[in-house]
């Protein structure tokens, strides 16, 4: 039986989902913001709704800059000149959840999470079908959410699991057992590491 892809394949828009990108450099005097920019520009086709980057500044604080629009609009020379650091992650958004609210900055990634125990920034691509159930379980344990996205659920799950684990590899191993679906994660830690799952 012959298959005519033009006849049977119905694609009326790009079949893409978010871009995630990370850069690390051992030289603390070198800033990677322009490298993140170039990486996200080359992945622009993976998401045109918004873009953002998180960079670990010298001294251990994570700075996140994000906004609606294309990479070249959001990450212009002025914004990049203020983002100095040698480790960072970036994200271009193509919404699959929370699409109706994507105008809010809380829905744009990277998602920066900080509480008294842990700080990290998360860039996520994928779909987690069981995120509603995970969110209900975390709410029952006292977690408070400000968005309706699987990204925030993953961030809270990472933070909750960090209380029961000794290292990022152990945290990711435990969290991955709870997540259904297909996904890619980049996590920028306060220690200057980029973890991926």
The rounded distance, in Å, linking the Cα atoms of 51 and 41 is 10
Catalytic residue among 17, 18, 51, 65: 18
Category of 110 on φ-ψ map: left (φ > 0), alpha (ψ -120 to 50) or beta? beta
User: CB within 8 A of 8, min separation 6: which ones?
Assistant: none
The greatest distance separating any two alpha carbons of the chain, rounded to the nearest whole angstrom, comes to: 63
Is there a catalytic annotation at residue 25?
no
Question: In angstroms, rounded to a whole number, what is the distance separating the alpha carbons of residues 181 and 57?
Answer: 33
Q: Phi and psi at residue 186, in whole multiples of 5°?
A: -125, 130
Q: Any idea which residues carry the catalytic annotation?
A: 18
């Amino acid at each position: 039986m012959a298959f005519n892809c033009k006849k049977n394949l119905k694609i009326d828009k790009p079949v893409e989902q978010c871009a995630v990108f990370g850069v690390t450099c051992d030289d603390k005097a070198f800033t990677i913001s322009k490298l993140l920019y170039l990486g996200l520009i080359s992945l622009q086709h993976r998401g045109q709704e918004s873009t953002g980057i998180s960079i670990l500044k010298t001294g251990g604080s994570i700075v996140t800059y994000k906004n609606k629009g294309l990479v070249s609009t959001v990450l212009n020379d002025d914004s990049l000149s203020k983002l100095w650091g040698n480790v960072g992650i970036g994200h271009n958004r193509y919404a699959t959840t929370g699409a109706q609210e994507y105008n809010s900055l809380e829905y744009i990634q990277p998602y920066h999470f900080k509480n008294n125990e842990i700080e990290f920034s998360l860039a996520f691509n994928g779909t987690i079908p069981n995120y509603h159930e995970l969110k209900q379980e975390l709410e029952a344990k006292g977690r408070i959410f400000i968005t309706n996205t699987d990204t925030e659920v993953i961030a809270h799950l990472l933070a909750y699991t960090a209380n029961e684990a000794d290292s990022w590899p152990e945290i990711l191993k435990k969290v991955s057992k709870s997540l259904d679906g297909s996904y890619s994660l980049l996590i920028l830690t306060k220690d200057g590491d980029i973890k991926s799952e």
